[in-house]
Every structure is written in C-alpha cells, then in structure tokens.
Homo-oligomer: A and B are copies of this chain.
C-alpha cells in the first residue's frame, strides 16, 4: 500500500453526557486533533464522519457531519457520512485512507461520534438492536441478541480449548486495570477477578464487569499523504494496512470474517502476527477478546487460555492487548470506538503514553467489528500501523 499517515489524533473522555449534543461532543477532539497535526480547520480537504445511531437516539439522520463540522470551522469541503454499526469509525478511516490513496486530498479528517446513552434505556437498546437485520431477527430489541450469539460461540470455544470463565474474568481484570491508567476511559476502577465474577450477571455466564457499557463520546484523526506528513513533520505513524470486509454466512470455524480480514491485512502490510507489539481489539465482552486471540493469529488454535495465563497480553507482555482498557473499560460509543482505538495506538507508537506505555512499540493492529448478519459480524475492519519514529 502507498504511504498514508496519521498526523493528528484527539478524543474526549468517554462517558454519559445526556446534556451534550453530538456537535458539542465533537468539538474538543476536533480542536485537539488539528493542534496535534499542526494544521488549521481550513487545511482539511475532506471529512468522513462515522455515526451509527443518531437516527434513533437523537432523530438526526442523513447529514450528521454537516450539522456538526461547520460549528468547528470545517465547511464547504466533501463530507461523507458513513455507517457500519460498531465498525463505523474504522469504516470512515478506511474511506479516508482510500481518498488519500486516490490522490484526491492531502489532509483529511475522520470523526467518530456517538450519543448512545439515553435516559430512557429502551432507546439505547433499540439503537443497538438496529445493528442486526431487523427483517430477519425475531429480537424486537435489546442488546442481548449480540450477547446470546456471542455466548453460543463462547460455549463452543470453552469446550474446544479448555478455557474457563475465570480466563474471561482475568481478561476483564486486565482491561479494567489498563483502563484505570487511562484518563480518557469511561470507567477507571480496578477490580479483582473475584469481584468481576461476583458482579451482576448480564447473560450467563457473563457478568456486568465483563461487558462493554453504554456511553457517549467522540474521537478524531487527521490523515495525510506522505507529502503532507513531511511538510508537517508528522511522519511517525504510517497506516500499513487498511482492510474492510463483510459477512458471508459461509464461514467455518477456521475462516470467518475475522480470519479473512486479518489475513488480508497481514499480507497488505507484509508482516505476520508475531511482528505485532500492541493490539487494540473490539472486546464487546471480555469473552470476545478471549476468542479473538486465536482468530487474529495471536495464539495457535485453542491457545487462548495459555496466552491469558502467561500474561503475554498484559502491558509488559509479548503482545499487550487493549492497553486503553478496551471497550469494556474505555467505553463503547459505537461510532467513536474504531477511531478511539487508532488514537490509542498512535499514542503508543509515538512512545509517549503516561502510565500504560508499551515499551518499544513499533507495529500495532486495530480490530473493529460491527453489527450481526448471517451469524457473524456484518462489517469488520483491520488496520495495521507502523512507527517511523527516528530513534
């Protein structure tokens, strides 16, 4: 892939902000990302805006980006509103990368923003369930459609690998411990494995502290061509692979959408899973993270329990996963999540994170998945980033 760079990042602390609008939530991260890149709002040549659920939560459809960006000095340029459920943010990034690769623009903005929290909890659940095929699902609402599907996969995986719910809890413990060191995480409490196991059950065997919460937030990237990166002196973080795939419904255990996507991304970047120094992956629950280790090639088939027990995925381990705290601790405002993952990895590759730095990180991967159709994620995106920092 031709060189494309991340030259600026910004995000706010994810949380529950019933009194803030999408426009308001986006403002701080936009200002921060522009300042980080060393550009002005007028330098942005195109914008890709990820939001999945405002149609249901706030009523705003159709032109979300155009209702948000002009208030922050960004207008007139091409604005594309993209959706792909929980993978909306990485889909917007994929579109931004594509536009730079096409040679159309030098400097483009990616905004992921979501208000998912609603004082009427049924509105949040209805929004989440819109990420399934409504015509096919008998669901009628509730985020449990995802959890039930996920739990069926978990039961099979446990049987095959010997993993126990304690492994899931241990992953959750890691995420909460990492999140406690992240000032932008929605939840910053540390919990023991026992406390996680004893927290209220959401859908057995998963407890509340093993699951991603409902929240609001925004994250922003400034993406640029090689020429612009050199001009800005911001050529540290390169996007070495950008892959987007959708469900087939014909996947067997060994070649589902995650395996297909990650294989394509490794090939595009010219690396293998052994080259990764840090990973942010889409842990809708800590059980998803357990199963993804194998699917993303971080361990052999059935090797996730051993990977967890070895401490390899903790900060300081061989391949730290979710140093940000992941979805379950950093939070999961749907459209913002995929962008927030890239913010974290950019900070990690720059080597200047306070309190949760993965030492010597040079190669990073983000995995972002969204929606459910045909029994697997409807959309899945993999980005591989490499550091070009002068050492």
Q: Complex formed: what's the CA distance from A79 to B84 in Å?
A: 8
**Chain B residue at smallest Cβ distance from A136:** B67
Question: Which residues of chain B come closer than 8 Å to A247, judged between CB atoms?
Answer: 66, 70, 75-76
* Residue contact A83 to B62, C-beta cutoff 8 Å: yes
Q: Complex formed: what's the CA distance from A94 to B69 in Å?
A: 20
* Residue contact A76 to B246, C-beta cutoff 8 Å: yes
Question: Which residues of chain B come closer than 8 Å to A78, judged between CB atoms?
Answer: 94, 244-246
* Residue contact B67 to A135, C-beta cutoff 8 Å: yes
* Residue contact B58 to A55, C-beta cutoff 8 Å: no
Q: Which of B79, B98, B101, B374 contacts A246 (CB 8 A)?
A: B79
| A window 9-44: CB within 8 A of B | 21, 23
Copies in the complex: 2
Stretch binding the partner chain, chosen from A125-133, A273-281, A313-321? A125-133
Chain A count of residues within 8 A CB distance of the other chain: 62
Mind listing 14 A-B residue pairs with CB under 8 Å?
Answer: A52-B61, A53-B61, A60-B134, A61-B130, A62-B371, A63-B371, A65-B246, A66-B133, A69-B246, A75-B249, A76-B257, A79-B244, A81-B82, A98-B104
| A window 62-100: CB within 8 A of B | 62-67, 69-70, 75-85, 88, 91, 94-95, 98-99
Given A70-B373, A104-B101, A135-B23, A64-B83 contact (CB < 8 Å) = yes
**Chain B residue at smallest Cβ distance from A79:** B246
Q: What 17 additional pairs, Cβ within 8 angstroms, besides A62-B85, A80-B244?
A: A56-B59, A61-B130, A61-B131, A62-B371, A63-B85, A63-B371, A63-B379, A67-B135, A75-B249, A76-B245, A78-B244, A79-B84, A79-B379, A80-B82, A83-B83, A101-B102, A101-B104
Q: Complex formed: what's the CA distance from A109 to B248 in Å?
A: 17
Nearest-neighbour CB distance to chain B for A248, whole angstroms, equals 4
Q: Complex formed: what's the CA distance from A135 to B248 in Å?
A: 39
Q: Complex formed: what's the CA distance from A43 to B270 in Å?
A: 25
Given A81-B84, A84-B80, A244-B78, A58-B134 contact (CB < 8 Å) = yes
Question: Which residues of chain B come closer than 8 Å to A56, judged between CB atoms?
Answer: 55, 59, 61
Q: Does A370 contact B (CB under 8 A)?
A: yes
* Residue contact A66 to B98, C-beta cutoff 8 Å: no
Given A84-B81, A373-B67, A374-B75, A130-B246 contact (CB < 8 Å) = no
Question: Which residues of chain B come closer than 8 Å to A127, judged between CB atoms?
Answer: 61
Q: Complex formed: what's the CA distance from A249 to B21 in Å?
A: 21
Nearest-neighbour CB distance to chain B for A104, whole angstroms, equals 6
* Residue contact B379 to A66, C-beta cutoff 8 Å: yes
Q: Complex formed: what's the CA distance from A270 to B371 in Å?
A: 43
Given A98-B98, A373-B63, A75-B248 contact (CB < 8 Å) = yes
Closest 6 pairs between A and B when the two form their complex, measured CB to CB: A55-B55, A101-B102, A61-B130, A63-B371, A78-B244, A62-B85
Q: Does A220 contact B (CB under 8 A)?
A: no
Q: Does A188 contact B (CB under 8 A)?
A: no
A230-258 to B contact mask, C-beta < 8 Å, 1/0: 00000000000000111111100000010
